[in-house]
Chains A and B, each alone.
Chain A
């Protein structure tokens, strides 16, 4: 008889970033089903699900609801950094843990959160190191108007300065806003070498479509000369983007081969989250933050993403860094580096190693 352990699932089933949310939820649900069917695990995971409907204010109350009305102490959930930060005080009060399966902007290391997707040294820094020598260092920065966009663009400003480039513009749209005509006008006027896209959901799709139209009018804005680069774009959103995304770049710990075990890195990372959680809980069903911290310090975990280490100090995962180019419904792998240790505060970032010395670069 397997011991039943309730775990919380906190993903929105509707709203502007639903595709990402669905991908994460799918990964968690699939992992739960696989673990429950696997005789090697002495536990049965029972999902306790709540739907915040993409409303940032509902995450904390629904997380509290999970802790109050079930025995769950672990929650797989949250997509936006806004919702994660809203949830943290509830986790601290209840002694719970959040398994966070999305890329984020870094500069956080909470004992009650396990960060299972990429942080800036695993996404933005290697992406910029790839783009600057090939396209140039002058960037235009876009973001949805909340912490992900603000903080990503703050790091990008520093990186662009280190690379000897200029920030030609920095613009934010409300989450869900699809009027991008002003952004397009400004990009057309300033002629950057690349565009860093931290827009999310429907705003991002609207921007890529309008940028594609701009490239039709002026080939200077084709992906071969001025790519749109993202740190959170995956296969899950390609159906919404269609042809307009072709040739642009994204970075992540996983891009789906064909045939693929997972449809996107969000799904893969949520799946791996449940695997690591189940691995520890099957040995100690009452494990709390302290026991997890000890397990992270002592062990590596075998997951469907391969062996995973989790840094015990920061609770961030060691991950592959893959840069992908959008092709027909898939990402072609442009470069890959395995087992990149997390550095959420960029304390090991070295401008000279990342970009070389800008003064020595040939100016043509």
Chain B
């Protein structure tokens, strides 16, 4: 049975707020402290420690790429965009950084908690998807290896049986079919090498 994921405990998490000194920063810090997070405000640059932050809030109005110690869209933590002017160019820039949630300025008495939860969830989902895509790409790239492994196992006879054998080997070695195919290809190449050395 799948249970809806529980609301995470945010106590002790660290949030960096990249925004020039402004009452908006105070409003965000107040809410973050009430929720139990540690906060660091900074401008115009994120300090090196920001790489270990759990959340980064950044100003979409005056922000620029060089403020971040990572390439646009590659932040290693959930980002929350602080949007004041809804100028399309600024929203486009915030999007290029793949903000996971946003807060509209001026920030009042609420909004930070839901932004944290939404940012965390969509960041995790994005990370999970990227991981899955990378895995699938890798498996697609291994098609040729599988063909070679099946050919090696069938020795020109029954391909279906050879494929079934490959699968059962993967199962007994407790690895993926692709990984098993790689091993078989490697073993075959070794054997081939050995054969040649015998001949020599």
Q: Which residues of A contact B (CB under 8 A)?
A: 88, 92, 107, 109-112, 154, 158, 161, 313-314, 343-349
Distance, CA A110 to CA B3, complexed state (A): 31
| Interchain CA distance A161-B36 in the complex, whole Å | 23
* A58–B33 CA distance with the chains assembled, in angstroms: 33
A341 to chain B, nearest CB (A): 11
Partner of A348, one of B7, B11, B34: B11
Interface of B, helix, strand, loop or mixed by DSSP = loop
Min CB distance B87 to A, Å, is 27
Q: For the complex, is B188 an interface residue (Cβ under 8 Å from A)?
A: no
Binds A, one of B43-51, B107-115, B153-161: B107-115
14 further contact pairs, Cβ within 8 A, besides A88-B109, A313-B33:
A92-B108, A107-B113, A111-B109, A158-B7, A313-B34, A314-B33, A343-B11, A343-B36, A345-B34, A345-B35, A347-B9, A347-B11, A348-B11, A349-B9
Which residues from A are CB-within-8-Å of B30?
111, 313
B42 at the interface (CB under 8 A from A): no
Question: Are A344 and B34 in contact, CB atoms less than 8 angstroms apart?
Answer: yes
Q: Which residues of B contact A (CB under 8 A)?
A: 3, 6-7, 9-12, 30-31, 33-37, 108-110, 113
Contact A109 B31 (CB under 8 A): yes
**Bound complex: CA A127 to CA B3 (Å):** 24
Tell me which residues across on chain A come within 8 A of B3, comparing CB atoms.
161
Q: Are A347 and B36 in contact (CB under 8 A)?
A: yes
* Alpha-carbon distance between A88 and B34 when the two chains are bound, in angstroms: 17
Known: A345-B11, A346-B9, A347-B12. A92 touches B34 (CB 8 A): no
- What distance in Å separates the Cβ of B145 from its nearest Cβ neighbour in chain A? 42
Which 3 pairs between the two chains have the least Cβ-Cβ distance? A347-B36, A347-B11, A109-B34
- Inter-chain CA distance A137–B118, complex, in Å, is 31
Residues of A within 8 A of B110 (CB): 110
Residues of B with C-beta under 8 A to A109: 31, 34-35
Distance in Å: Cβ of B30 to nearest Cβ of chain A? 6
Q: How far is the CA of A88 from the CA of B111 in the complex (A)?
A: 14
Q: Shortest distance in angstroms between B13's beta carbon and chain A's nearest beta carbon?
A: 8
- Nearest-neighbour CB distance to chain B for A97, whole angstroms, equals 12
User: Can you sample 23 A-B contacts with CB below 8 Å?
Assistant: A109-B31, A109-B34, A110-B110, A111-B30, A112-B109, A158-B6, A161-B6, A313-B30, A313-B34, A314-B34, A343-B36, A344-B34, A345-B10, A345-B11, A346-B9, A346-B11, A347-B9, A347-B10, A347-B12, A347-B37, A348-B11, A348-B36, A349-B11
Q: CA separation between A344 and B12, bound complex, in Å?
A: 14
B36 touching A345, Cβ below 8 Å: yes
Establish whether residues B35 and A110, one from each chain, have CB atoms under 8 Å apart when the complex forms: no
In the bound complex, what is the Cα–Cα distance between A273 and B182 (angstroms)? 72
Chain B residue contacts of A347, Cβ below 8 A = 9-12, 35-37
> Which residue of chain B has its CB nearest to the CB of A289?
B109
Task: Identify the interface centre among A92, A313, A343: most chain B CB within 10 Å of its CB.
Answer: A313
With a CB–CB cut-off of 8 A, which chain B residues contact A92?
108-109
Nearest B residue (CB) for A158: B6
Query: What are the residues of chain B within 8 A of A349 when measuring CB–CB?
Result: 9, 11
Residues of B within 8 A of A111 (CB): 30, 109
Complex Cα gap A109–B37 (Å): 14
**Neighbouring A residues of B33 by C-beta, 8 Å:** 313-314
B139 shortest CB reach to chain A, Å: 35
Q: How far is the CA of A348 from the CA of B108 in the complex (A)?
A: 25
State in angstroms the CA–CA spacing of A88 and B12 once bound together: 28
- Expressed in whole angstroms, the minimum distance between the Cβ of A178 and any Cβ of chain B is 31
The CA of A161 and the CA of B3, in the complex, are separated in Å by 11
Whole-angstrom distance between the Cβ of A350 and the nearest chain B Cβ:
9
> Which residues of A are found within 8 Å of B108, using beta-carbon distances?
92
Asked whether B11 lies within 8 Å of A110 as measured between CB atoms, the reply is no
Query: How far is it, in angstroms, between the C-alpha of A347 and the C-alpha of B14 when the chains are bound?
Result: 13
A347–B30 Cα distance when bound, in Å, is 15
Q: Which residue of B lies closest to A109 (CB)?
A: B34
- Cβ A345 vs Cβ B113 within 8 A: yes
Q: How far is the CB of B92 from chain A (nearest CB, A)?
A: 32
Q: Which B residues are in CB contact (< 8 Å) with A345?
A: 10-11, 34-36, 113
The complex places the Cα of A121 from the Cα of B6 at a distance, in Å, of 17
Chain B minimum-CB-distance residue to A162: B6
Closest to B3 in A: A161
Name the CB-closest residue of A to B6: A158
Give B56 Cβ to nearest chain A Cβ, in Å: 19
Q: What chain B residues lie within 8 Å of A154 (beta carbons)?
A: 7
* A89 CB, min distance to chain B CBs, angstroms: 10
The residue of chain B having its C-beta at the shortest distance from the C-beta of A314 within the complex is: B34
Q: Which residue of A lies closest to B27 (CB)?
A: A111
| A110 engages B109 (CB within 8 Å) | yes
- CB of B6 to closest CB in A, whole Å: 5
B29 to chain A, nearest CB (A): 9
Shortest C-beta distance, A126 to chain B (Å), equals 17
Min CB–CB distance B10 → chain A (angstroms): 6
User: Closest CB-CB distance, A114 to chain B, in whole Å?
Assistant: 13
